[in-house]
């Protein structure tokens, strides 16, 4: 019984000694830029539809143009602010990637 324990202990020690080396860790940086199509400025809101505009009264026409202008300005400001942030983030990530790529 004692010899079986001794042999088992020797086998365990041999197996553990094989796991003693350290693994090689290699870091690789990959930069995936945001597609340029997503960074383009936003388009405006289309003008009012032709048929309802032609039959509308002067006040209704004025209201249509005012609403179109308001929607256009709000959406353009929000969208372009978002695009500005995306461009800035993209440039920062590219700089980080370049910095890490040059480091050994």
Q: Which residue has the higher pLDDT, 55 or 102?
A: 55
Question: Tokens at residue 90, please?
Answer: 């993209």
User: Where are the domains positioned within the chain?
Assistant: 28-102
Q: What is the separation of C-alpha 8 from the centre of its chain, rounded to a whole number of angstroms?
A: 54
* Per-residue pLDDT, 26: 82
Q: Could you give the percent of the chain with pLDDT greater than 90?
A: 10
> How much is the average pLDDT of 38-51?
80
9 has pLDDT over 70: yes
Q: Indicate whether 104 pLDDT > 60.
A: no
Structure token digits, residue 98: 């370049």
Question: Which of 50, 100, 41, 101 has its CA nearest to residue 72?
Answer: 41
Contact, 32 vs 97, CB < 8 A? Answer: no
């Amino acid at each position: 019984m004692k010899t079986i324990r001794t042999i088992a202990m020797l086998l365990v020690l041999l197996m553990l000694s094989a796991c003693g080396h350290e693994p090689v860790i290699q870091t690789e940086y990959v930069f995936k830029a945001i597609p340029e199509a997503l960074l383009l400025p936003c388009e405006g809101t289309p003008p009012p539809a032709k048929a309802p505009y032609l039959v509308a009264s002067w006040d209704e026409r004025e209201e249509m143009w005012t609403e179109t202008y308001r929607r256009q300005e709000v959406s353009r400001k929000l969208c372009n602010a978002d695009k500005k942030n995306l461009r800035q983030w993209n440039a920062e990530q590219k700089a980080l990637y370049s910095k890490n790529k040059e480091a050994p």
